[in-house]
Amino acid sequence: MTTANIYVCLSESDQKKFGCSDRMRLDLRDTTAREQATLQRAFGYHELQDLSDALRDMFDVDGDGKVTRVRKDTDLYLAFTWLALRHNGHLDARHGDEMLAELADMDFQIAWAQLDFDVDAEGKDESSTPTEISTS
C-alpha cells in the first residue's frame, strides 16, 4: 500500500456543521480494527488496500503520468471523510453499531469536497502518483 497523507477538505458550510478545519489530515495506517470492520460492513472494504485501490481507480492517467480525469467515488469520499472526522476528533462513537450509525447518518456537499495528497512514494518514481489533486 502506498503511504500517503490524505487531506480531506470539505465545503465551508460542512466545516461549520462538523466543527472541523478546512484541511483534515488522514493517514490510513491509523485506522483501527473497529473502523475497518465498520467500513467492511458499510462498503465491503475488507482491508486498507481496498481503500487504496479504490482511490487509485478514481484517476485516469495518461502515458506521461498526467491525470486526465477524476471520477468521484461517493463511497470512498464517505469512507475518507468519516475516517478524517474521527481521526481529527470530530466524531467519537466507540461501538461497532454506533460507528455504523455515525457513518450512515453522515452527509456533506460532495461537489465541494476535495481530496489532496502528500505522497511518500517509497519505491516509486514521483511521476507515478498525483501529489495534489482537486477533485471538484
Q: Looking at the domain assignment, is residue 102 inside a domain? A: yes
Q: For residue 79, give its domain range.
A: 3-128
Q: Looking at the domain assignment, is residue 110 inside a domain? A: yes
Q: Looking at the domain assignment, is residue 51 inside a domain? A: yes
Would you list the DSSP string of the chain? --EEEEEEE--HHHHHHHT--SSEEEEGGG--HHHHHHHHHHH---SHHHHHHHHHHTEEE-TTS-EEEE---HHHHHHHHHHHHHHTTS----SHHHHHHHHHH----GGG-EEEEEEE-TTS-GGGS-SS----
Q: Looking at the domain assignment, is residue 11 inside a domain? A: yes
Q: What is the pLDDT of residue 79?
A: 96
The neighbouring-strand residues paired with 60 are 69
**pLDDT tens per residue, range 64-87:** 989 898 888 999 999 999 999 999
What percent of the chain clears pLDDT 70, i.e. is strictly above it? Answer: 84
Q: Looking at the domain assignment, is residue 101 inside a domain? A: yes
Q: Looking at the domain assignment, is residue 136 inside a domain? A: no
| Residue 35: pLDDT over 90 | yes
Q: What is the pLDDT of residue 119?
A: 55
| Residue 2: pLDDT over 60 | no
User: What domain count does the chain have?
Assistant: 1
Q: What is the pLDDT of residue 27?
A: 92
Out of 29-33, 54-58, 73-77, 121-125, which region has the weakest mean confidence (pLDDT)? 121-125
Q: What mean pLDDT comes out for the span 98-106?
A: 95
Q: Looking at the domain assignment, is residue 135 inside a domain? A: no
Q: Looking at the domain assignment, is residue 22 inside a domain? A: yes
Cα 127 to Cα 4, 65, 85: the distances in Å are: 15, 6, 30
Residues whose CB falls within 8 Å of the CB of residue 19, separated by 6 or more in sequence, listed in order: 90
